[in-house]
Structures are given as C-alpha cells and as structure tokens.
Amino acid sequence: MELSQRVQKLTPSSTLAITAKANELKASGQDVIGLAAGEPDFNTPGNIIQAAFRAVEAGKTKYTPAGGLPQLKQAIQSKLERDGLHYQLNEIMVASGAKHALYNLFQSILDEGDEVIIPIPYWVSYPEQVKLAGGEPVYVETDEATAFKVTAAKLDTVKTARTKALILNTPSNPTGALYSEDELQEVADWAVKNNIIVVSDEIYETLVYDGKHISIATLGDAIKALTVVINGVSKSHSMTGWRIGYAAGDQKIIKAMTDLASHSTSNPTTPSQWAAIEAYEGDQTFLKEMNATFKSRLDTIYPLLMEIPGISCIKPKGAFYLYPNVKETVKLCGLNSADELVEQLLEEVLVAAVPGSSFGSPDNIRLSYATDLESMTEAIKRIKQFVTDRM
Ligand code: PLP
C-alpha cells in the first residue's frame, strides 16, 4: 500500500531514535545518563495539580469551545497584558501544546510553495510542519560567530517573492540564544518592510539567565499585526504532558486555526485547561525557583564542559540546552562526524546527547541540563575521559 506523498516527505526524528536507544540500554540495566531530554525535570507544581483535581471532581470533564475555555483565554489575555501586549479574546486560541498551535498556524497561512524562512539551527518540528502544510522551508545559516542570531542583511539573502513567514525562536532550542531589543527591532523593521509574518515561538520565555526575554510583538503596532505569538505552559510550568499551548495574533488567522481545531482535535483536554488557568493566575514562585536551579546548573556545568579538549561553546542565555561545536573534538578523536561522536558516547560511555544534524548544524551536539547536577557532572566527566582516551 502506498502512503501519501505528504507523509513520505517527513523526516523521522533522530531525537526519538537516540532516546529509544538510550532507553533500550537503560532497560538492559546499563547506567545511561540522558542529556537528550526536552523537558524540565521538575514536577508540575502542587497548586496546579490540585486545580486539575478540583475541576475533574466538579464535573469539568466535557467538551469546551474548540479554541479553549473563555476563562483560560482571559487568563492568557491577562498574562500577555502583564507583558505589555494587548489582545482581544478573539485574537487568542488555546491549543493542545505549542506544537499543535504551530501546526494549525502553518496549515492556516501557507499555500503550496509558500516559503518560510527558518534560521539554522532550528527546532526539529519547524521544517516538517511547514512541509506538511505544503510550504517550503528556506534555511538561513547562523553560527557561533553571530551568536546564532539572524540579521536583516542575512534575511535579505534568502527572501523571495514567495516568502510568507519567518520563524523566530527566542530563547532558542537548541542554542539558548536570546535576541536583544535592538536585534529584535532590526528583524521587526525587516518584516514590516517586506510584509512577512513573524512566527514568534516564545515557549522558553521564563527560562532566561542572562538578559531579558522580549517579545517582538511589543515593538510597535505594525510588527504586532504581523506577529503570531506562540507560547504555553509546557516548559514554563513544567507541564509538558498536560498539552496546553496558545497562539495570539491576527483575528482572521486565529479564527482559521480554531476552525481547523474544531474539525481535527476539538478542544484541548478540559482538566488541563483548568490546570493552565491556575498556572497563569496562581502562585508564580515556582518559576523563580526553577529558573534559579537551571541557572546554577548552567554556571556549574559550563566551565566543566569547556575543559573537554576541542570543545567550543557560547554560554547560552536561556532555555536548558548547551550547544557546543565539536568539530575539533571529532577530529581529535579520529572520528568522522558529530553524529558518530554521539553514537560512540552512547555506546562507549553511556551518555545520551542529540546530534546537531537534527537541528541543521552537523558540527554541534545538544546537551540538555534538565537533569540533576550530579548526573550532569558525571556525564561531562565521562565525555572528557572518552575524548582524552582517544587523543
Ligand atoms: N517550540 C520549541 C522551540 C520547543 O522546543 C518545543 C518543545 O520541545 C515546543 C515548541 C513544543 O512545546 P509543547 O510541548 O507545548 O507542544
């Protein structure tokens, strides 16, 4: 039986492949340290869990409007208001995670052949979601020399008459890069001048350790009109499994995304929506605590990482990933690629990392520090030993 052209074009996630391999080794009793995780290693705060219990007990277990509970939209509206962003309720839709919001967005704005600019390195799902909507991913290279950020001049080199949108992810997965206000202003001016939609993925906004997260949509009415803000509670409140994200932007786009949800997923899980209301309106102490923990892990681990021969790495400003360039390390070990290094690290010293090739930059590897400091320190020690033994 022939599968559709659409799914045949999908690239399977190598992140999942490495996780599967790591789990296999773990199941066979091996002491694997996983640095591939894309989720905080914290429990969801108790007050949020209690809110979900209360909702279920009160019978809040039925359908809600496809685009989310009005009460949750109001909570999101107030949250955005606190950030200096004013949206009407019909400019906000709740989705089953930020990933789902992005999926519905691309389905709603792209026609066959429309181009979407995606800075390299990128989060693995962007190109696949663009392709699933009939769009063409157009890549723009960034690297350590530009701190993994795009400029207007760079964007000009890839813009064509078919460019419909640009994806901006700050703070970034996988690099931890954070755009400053001036850098965002430059991108905003470029988008307004060229009438290009900015898909602003801000899912890591609360995880910033150096500087301040700024949403590009706050930089004036013209750029706000072109921006669709994507966010959610997955990373901020350690709620990855609850599946609540949202989109805020142009009312026409939001309505299309909601209509699409009404014929595919219907509403995001009802108890999760009540939990998300508590996440946005309840005690926010957890955010500070989690941020402080990640910052202290980063400050401890980063200097240790830099001791590994051949490694170079920009200190990330946000999210919870280190994204070292291992080109020299690979050479020192007599290997051919960072992919091979990742494979060997797992097989030989039982450390699971993600190869940069998954994110479009094959000279890097991604190490998540969403794991306890002891395991992280041990993992870096093992990588260092692996490299030193081969030099
Ligand atoms: N955007 C980025 C950059 C991410 O790293 C992730 C999760 O890994 C998501 C979106 C998806 O978030 P959610 O779990 O809310 O779908």
> Where are the chain's structural domains?
5-43+285-390, 61-281
Residue 4 in tokens? 């559709």
- Ligand 1 centroid to residue 167 C-alpha, Å: 13
pTM over 0.95: yes
Burial of 378 (0-12, 13-18, 19+ CB in 10 A): middle
Q: Is the Cβ atom of 200 under 6 angstroms away from ligand 1?
A: no
Euclidean distance between CA atoms 342 and 248, whole angstroms: 38
Residue 275 is predicted with a pLDDT of 98
- Ligand 1 centroid to residue 98 C-alpha, Å: 6
Residue 17 is predicted with a pLDDT of 78
Residue 264 in tokens? 């595919």
* Contact present, 214 and 83 (Cβ < 8 Å): no
Q: Is the Cβ atom of 176 under 6 angstroms away from ligand 1?
A: no
Q: Is the Cβ atom of 121 under 6 angstroms away from ligand 1?
A: no
Tens-of-pLDDT digits for all 391 residues of the chain? Answer: 899 999 998 887 777 778 788 889 989 999 999 999 889 999 999 999 999 999 999 999 999 999 999 999 999 999 999 999 999 999 999 999 999 999 999 999 999 999 999 999 999 999 999 999 999 999 999 989 999 999 999 999 999 999 999 999 999 999 999 999 999 999 999 999 999 999 999 999 999 999 999 999 999 999 999 999 999 999 999 999 999 999 999 999 999 999 999 999 999 999 999 999 999 999 999 999 999 999 999 999 999 999 999 999 999 999 999 999 999 999 999 999 999 999 999 999 999 999 999 999 999 999 999 999 999 999 999 999 999 999 9
CATH of domain 61-281: 3.40.640.10
Into which CATH architecture does domain 5-43+285-390 fall?
Answer: Alpha-Beta Complex (3.90)
- Ligand 1 centroid to residue 391 C-alpha, Å: 38
Q: Is the Cβ atom of 125 under 6 angstroms away from ligand 1?
A: no
Helix (H, G, I), strand (E, B) or coil at 37: coil
Euclidean distance between CA atoms 368 and 373, whole angstroms: 11
- Ligand 1 centroid to residue 390 C-alpha, Å: 36
Residue 186 in tokens? 């430059």
* Contact present, 270 and 61 (Cβ < 8 Å): yes
Nearest partner of 223 among 166, 265, 178, 277, judged by Cα: 166
Within 13 A of 239's CA, how many CA atoms are on the CB side?
A: 33
* Contact present, 245 and 100 (Cβ < 8 Å): yes
